[in-house]
A and B are shown apart, each in its own frame.
Chain A
Amino acid sequence: MTQTKYATQPIEGYRHVAPEVRVEGDVTVIDSNAVYYKELNEAIRGAVAGGAKHLRIENVNGQRYIGTGLAGEDVRIEVHGTAGNDLTMLMDGPTVEVFGNAQDGVGNTMNAGRVIVHGDAGDVLGYGMRGGRVYIKGDVGYRVGIHMKAYESLVPIMVIGGNARDFFGEYMAGGMLVLLGMNTQFADQPLVGSFLGSGMHGGTIYIRGTVEAWQCGKEVGIAEATEADMAELTPILADYCEAQGMELADVLKVPFLKLTPFSHRPYGKLYAPM
């Protein structure tokens, strides 16, 4: 055996190896334990291209881009562990269910599909999201729903079960954000931070509970949700409750506020005075 110059190797965070893949019934199981995200996502895309409809990814810890760019409404992916940044970025159809927490950037520019996180999620959730649904069980971070947008039948919907921090719905252009403030580890704090909907010029934010006017951006109008609003919201909440194993009646015990922008072009006259 030849003696190498380097006695031992540095500690590795992830290994550049293909993950172990096995099939259990109709489920394709991928063990992602310490596998680098590139090799993991190659295996996921390979399985989906080969016709797999139900994938279970085990031992996930921080691998990025899971579900990114994937298409196919009948594809279902379970993620067990902590999902890394940009989960389901640009995704177009599949359902991704995370049994654990998700890091930053979930649903970044997502087009269609469902993301269900049975835990907390980080910052910039649903950045530029333009379709599909994201259901988070617990708390979320800063800048959630930033610049969500909608076009005709493409209407993104995001429901957060816990609390959200500052800049919730910042620059929101379309779609729906729902904040429940129920499953939180910060029960002693306000359910949402400051700059709520600042720069908002489209879409709707529903809040279960109350917010102070100073928490909101100056473009935001606050009203109590009407019966018609609740008729629109209730089926979404029912769907969320089913996905998260919660009781709809509990969610409906507290009245909702509806936040909408005063103008769809708040800065229209800023640079081109009439």
Chain B
Amino acid sequence: MSTRPRYREESPFKIHGGCGLMGICDESGALMSGEDAILAMAVQHDRGNGLGGGFAGYGIYPEFADHFCFHMMYHDLRAKEETEALLDEHFLLDLAEPMPTRPVKGITDAPLLWRYFLQPYPDRLEESEMSGEDYVVSVVMTINSTIDGAFVASSGKNMGVFKGVGYPEQIGHYFRLEEYEGHTWTGHNRFPTNTPGWWGGAHPFALLDWTIVHNGEISSYGINSRYLEQFGYKCTLGTDTEVAAYLFDLLLRRHKLPLSLACKALASPLWDEIDRMPEDEKAVMRSLRAVYGPGMLNGPFAIVLGFNGGMVALNDRIKLRPLVAARKGSTVIVASEESAIRAVIPEPDQLWTPKAGEPVIARVKGMGWPIHGDLHLAPSKISCAVSGTEQSCETVEVSA
């Protein structure tokens, strides 16, 4: 299997700047169109420079809720044919169609954009001895790393990523997001710093239904990507944020870490902070840093992780990027700036700036929580995966 070539737009250049992000989730499961997400990003227009905008929506494909949906980007028809042959081989395709778009001033050079609602062939899946999710992940990695000019923008159930080169309000308009309804949306405005602005490199980054929007710079990208390679993840999209999406898939889905621990693995407490912790908590944190050291995200970041069931917003441990959160009734909203929140919800019940390294969590009522373990267990009671004690294991099983 050959590796795809390096593209012209991947040529190295560097622009300094920031990014903007948002996330909104109605914990009651009530649906909203993509317009609120677009508005929150439009207010943060100046945080980007038109070289990347994107959104993720959850609950948007109820008619195909049990199908994996692949949002695809193709540079040309040959890439499309090659990809479709690969998809045909692995999946039963129930619907393949071009993404609905409209012409928008300023959006140019769009790749071919298609979406596919599909399910793994039961016999192929059985042969592979993998879970449905692992099966999908392996196909995604194969497409991204071996097919010249083909990229998977998202690959989860009942969700999708809409992204490209442009300002987010243009991209949202281009993809007609006012026509979709979801219970959770995230959005991103890109100001590329270390890597180029191209359609595949816009945020959100996604694998299965995990999506990440990110403001910052992951300076540990090198060690993170090498660590992920050991587990079969291939970083091919030329943007540091990609590793965060795969790390959450690894920690939450495959290693089944509780969310609180996964967040502590990625945004670890500093060593002197750990030294001041009670003994049991200290033991967990030390083990966590030892085991997941190569997975730790170093550098400044604010991220929003979206998934079927809610969203999680998280800052780096010394808050080098802005993040504001608010709640009104059952709606939780986060953004880089308070003004983005107030454009959507002028008078929230509560508005605060989250503490560094402590996640803001929104969880849709009645939806299966895809994350192992309970949210609010004391560190002394979490994760047999880390501390290996029997007592902890029992707790995890009960709360899963």
Contacts and interface: CB of A to CB of B under 8 A. Distances in A.
B338 A10 contact: no
Interface stretch (A11-19, A50-58, A89-97, A223-231): A11-19
B28 interface: no
Interface of B: 35, 38-39, 41-46, 102-105, 167, 169-170, 172-173, 272-273, 276, 318-319, 322, 324, 337-340, 342-343, 350-353, 355-356
A13 B340 CA distance: 9
A213 to B, nearest CB: 12
A6 B273 CA distance: 55
Nearest to A105: B322
B43 A61 contact: yes
Contacts, number: 93
B318 A5 contact: no
A82 B105 contact: no
B318 to A, nearest CB: 6
Contact of A13 (B272, B324, B343): B343
Given A6-B104, A11-B35, A11-B42, A61 B173 contact: no
Interface of A: 5-14, 61-64, 81-82, 84-85, 101, 103-104, 120, 122-123, 139, 141-142, 165-167, 185-186, 189, 194, 214
Contacts of A186: 352
A185 B337 contact: no
Contact of A10 (B169, B272, B276, B355): B169
A122 B45 CA distance: 19
Contacts of B43: 13-14, 61-62
B103 A61 contact: no
Contact residues of A: prevailing secondary structure: loop
Given A11-B38, A103-B339, A166-B356, A6 B103 contact: yes
A93 B273 CA distance: 42
Given A141-B319, A165-B356, A166-B356, A14 B45 contact: yes
A12 B169 contact: yes
Nearest to B335: A62
Given A13-B39, A142-B318, A84 B337 contact: yes
A161 to B, nearest CB: 16
B319 A103 contact: no
Contacts of A9: 173
Nearest to B41: A13
6 A-B pairs with least C-beta separation: A62-B339, A13-B42, A13-B43, A10-B173, A10-B169, A142-B319
Contact of A123 (B167, B322, B343): B322
B27 to A, nearest CB: 20
Contacts of A8: 173
A64 B318 CA distance: 25
